[in-house]
Copies of this chain bind each other. A is one copy, B any other.
Amino acid sequence: MVSRRQWLQALASLAAGSAWTQAWAQAKQGARKTGHLVIVGGAEDRVHDRLVLRRFLELSGGPLARILVCTAASGDPEGSWKGYAPVFADMGAQNVQHLSILSSSDANQPAVAEQILAADGIFLTGGDQRRLMERLWETQAARAIHLAFHVQGCTLGGTSAGAAVMSRAMLAIGEATRRPQMDTITLDIGLGLLSNAIVDQHFNERYRLGRLLSALALRKDLLGVGIDEDTALVVERNKAIEVVGSGNVTIVDGRRMRTNSQELQAHDRLEMMDVRLHVLPAGNRYSVAPAAAQDGASPQRTPSAFLETLKLLVEPGPIRG
């Protein structure tokens, strides 16, 4: 005898399978309608102006958008969901659901993939980025997030731990050392939606420049992106970035630095010469198109070093379907 629950699961599975098949077929045909990333440095305002969450909701499509709040990073998923649900409701969002993923087995449920593929916006809450990746690593949910983002144009938001997983090279563990130091950082693999960067959050609040430089000493090829609390870096594929909220986004570009990081002996100290720093305050938009490069506050010419950095930052990673 098949229970009602089993029936529903089977139906969900079929439905997911079909959404999946469709999205994957589109991906293979090269269809890309990459959504926006809304990468939040943690502690976004939920009570007053809610600039960051409003922008996420707006980019997802507004009040009628199908929003998922994914609490897989959290040690208290129910508490986390109960924190966000009334905030989204208060902003007028009418279709907000909790995506609870407590294990990779959960993350392989067809119903979960179905939910993800049907979403207009997915918001990854804070917690621990390692927990989040343990639960999502090589699951259908992770693949569905890629298809939703790359093929269906779903907006993907994440705060704190949810921000750390946006990049492929993910800052998993790292002491906030005062000075950049070797061997203080453990990098792991994140969701990989941002292909050329390492994201750090609570950036100026926790004085994390030393930590981000330490990460770049390991991965000189990547950009360091430090996002302040109550601040979002919005990434629009191949086009522009925006800084939203109340703080800064700091981009650290060490691709041309001279460093001794590869030849360090024990007790040697890390040297880094010619690192480029870009301090971008909230309220500005930076476009890669030369004609539109003046969206920011300053009418001066955009430095080529920054334009180059910007182009790398808005380049989407490969689809992992």
**A residues bordering B, Cβ < 8 Å?**
178-180, 204-205, 207, 209-210, 213, 228, 247-248, 252, 256-260, 263, 268-284, 296-303, 305-306
Whether A276 lies near B274 (C-beta < 8 A) is: yes
Hey, which chain B residues are within 8 Å of A210, CB to CB? 204
Q: How many angstroms between the C-alpha atoms of A107 and B282 in the bound complex?
A: 49
Q: Which of B180, B257, B263, B302 contacts A258 (CB 8 A)?
A: B302
Q: How many angstroms between the C-alpha atoms of A147 and B47 in the bound complex?
A: 62
Hey, which chain B residues are within 8 Å of A259, CB to CB? 298
A250 → B minimal CB distance (Å): 9
Hey, which chain B residues are within 8 Å of A274, CB to CB? 276-278, 303, 305-306
Given A271-B298, A306-B274: A279 in contact with B213 (beta carbons within 8 A): yes
Copies in the complex: 2
**Most chain B CB within a 10 A radius of its CB, from A268, A274, A299, A301:** A274
Q: How many angstroms between the C-alpha atoms of A205 and B300 in the bound complex?
A: 35
Q: How many angstroms between the C-alpha atoms of A193 and B259 in the bound complex?
A: 30
Whether A303 lies near B209 (C-beta < 8 A) is: no
Q: How many angstroms between the C-alpha atoms of A237 and B192 in the bound complex?
A: 49
A165 → B minimal CB distance (Å): 25
Whether A258 lies near B205 (C-beta < 8 A) is: no
A257-B303, A260-B296, A272-B279 known, 18 other contacts, Cβ within 8 Å: A178-B204, A178-B205, A179-B247, A248-B269, A258-B298, A258-B301, A258-B306, A263-B297, A271-B280, A271-B281, A271-B284, A272-B278, A273-B279, A273-B302, A273-B305, A275-B277, A276-B277, A277-B277
Nearest-neighbor residue (CB-CB) of A253 within chain B: B274
Hey, which chain B residues are within 8 Å of A303, CB to CB? 256-258, 273-274
A225 → B minimal CB distance (Å): 15
Q: How many angstroms between the C-alpha atoms of A240 and B107 in the bound complex?
A: 59
Nearest-neighbor residue (CB-CB) of A278 within chain B: B273
Nearest-neighbor residue (CB-CB) of A280 within chain B: B271
Q: Which of B271, B300, B301 contacts A296 (CB 8 A)?
A: B271
A146 → B minimal CB distance (Å): 32
